[in-house]
Structure 1
Amino acid sequence: MTTLDPLSPAPAGEQGANIVGTGMGDGPGPDVMAAATLDGNKVMSADGEHVGKISDIMLDVRGGRIAYAVLSSGGFLGVGDTLHAIPWSALTLDTDDKCFVLDAPAERIKNSPGFDKDHWPSMADTQWGTAVHEYYNRSPYWSATRDAVREQDLDSNL
């Protein structure tokens, strides 16, 4: 049975965002933070371009996980923004620069499937979610947990 240390980072490509930097302060963060403190954080692409900001953190309520960060880009003062669902595991929190870095070049992010504030996709739809995760070369967040549960069940039967 594999036991994960809750204080060590999740292996790359699993369900959590990575954290880099030396920005450790008093109180919560960066390992455990209120979702509201992340709203409005800028997002940089892998090639260093500012591509937008975090507008929402979407929770998988039944599964108890962060499903997506919603990236808001374009527009002016929230008008005309395009929204993009980003797999949480595709983000790295940079505590030094106080931003997220998305593991994709700016052009790929700009061309990603987006939506507007009045026409959200059904984020609980696994077909839609799988397509989003594949776009960012990530395994769907729900499969990492399902695989860990299966492994745990197999180990307990030995």
Structure 2
Amino acid sequence: METRNIIRGRDIEDYRVRNPQGEDLGSIKDVMIDTNEGCIAYAALSFGGIMGLGDKLFAIPWAALQYNPTNDSFILDVPKERLENAPGFDKGSWPTSAEREWLTGMYSHYGYTPYWERRPER
């Protein structure tokens, strides 16, 4: 029987995110849920700055993150340069809507198909 890893969204706040080479890329600050589709739209990754000051948040497709149970972290297999060049947002001004155009651009930046295009129609 296959077991599933299930975790509460609030419990992953501040989980570290690393690339496959082990470099620290930041930490997850929250996950955004698309209530119409019933799935996680993206994770907000805090990247840059020093001790949480001056860092920006970046939307990361949830499918781009792989959970590493060995050290309660996530692996993001994206070149650091792509993350550095990603459009980000300030902690005080989160995107207030999940507009498909914005989400499509974000998914495209990371080379992922948007979740609503992968899901079968209900």
- State the alpha-carbon separation in 2 of the partners of residues 95 and 69 from structure 1: 18
Q: 2:12 aligns with which of 32, 38, 41?
A: 38
- State the alpha-carbon separation in 2 of the partners of residues 51 and 83 from structure 1: 12
Would the aligned equivalents of 1:43 and 1:52 in 2 still touch at CA under 8 Å?
A: yes
Report the counterpart of residue 102 of structure 2 in structure 1.
128
Report the counterpart of residue 92 of structure 1 in structure 2.
66
Q: How many correspondences in the alignment? A: 121
Report the counterpart of residue 65 of structure 1 in structure 2.
39
Report the counterpart of residue 116 of structure 1 in structure 2.
90
Query: 1:127-151 CA deviation, whole Å, 9 max, x = no partner?
Result: 1100110111110011112xx127x
| Structure 2 residues without counterparts, runs of 5 or longer | none
Q: Which of the two has higher C-alpha Rg?
A: 1
Give, as a single letter, the amino acid of the residue that structure 2 aligns with 1:124. A
Q: Normalising by structure 1, report the TM-score.
A: 0.70
- State the alpha-carbon separation in 2 of the partners of residues 70 and 34 from structure 1: 15
Q: 1:101 aligns with which of 48, 67, 75?
A: 75
Q: Normalising by structure 2, report the TM-score.
A: 0.89
1:49 aligns with 2:31: no
Which one has more relative contact order, counting CA pairs under 8 Å at least 6 apart? 1
- State the alpha-carbon separation in 2 of the partners of residues 123 and 73 from structure 1: 22
- State the alpha-carbon separation in 1 of the partners of residues 63 and 15 from structure 2: 16
What displacement does 1:60 show? 0.6
- State the alpha-carbon separation in 1 of the partners of residues 48 and 55 from structure 2: 5
> Where in structure 1 do 4 or more consecutive aligned residues deviate above 6 Å?
none
Query: 1:46-92 CA deviation, whole Å, 9 max, x = no partner?
Result: 34310100001111122210110000012234321110000000010
1:149 aligns with 2:118: no
| Structure showing the higher strand proportion among its residues | 2
Q: Pairwise CA RMSD of aligned residues?
A: 1.8
What displacement does 1:94 show? 0.7
What displacement does 1:37 show? 1.1
What displacement does 1:123 show? 4.4
DSSP-derived class of the 2:111 partner: coil
What displacement does 1:114 show? 0.8
- State the alpha-carbon separation in 2 of the partners of residues 129 and 47 from structure 1: 28
Give, as a single letter, the amino acid of the residue that structure 1 aligns with 2:53. V
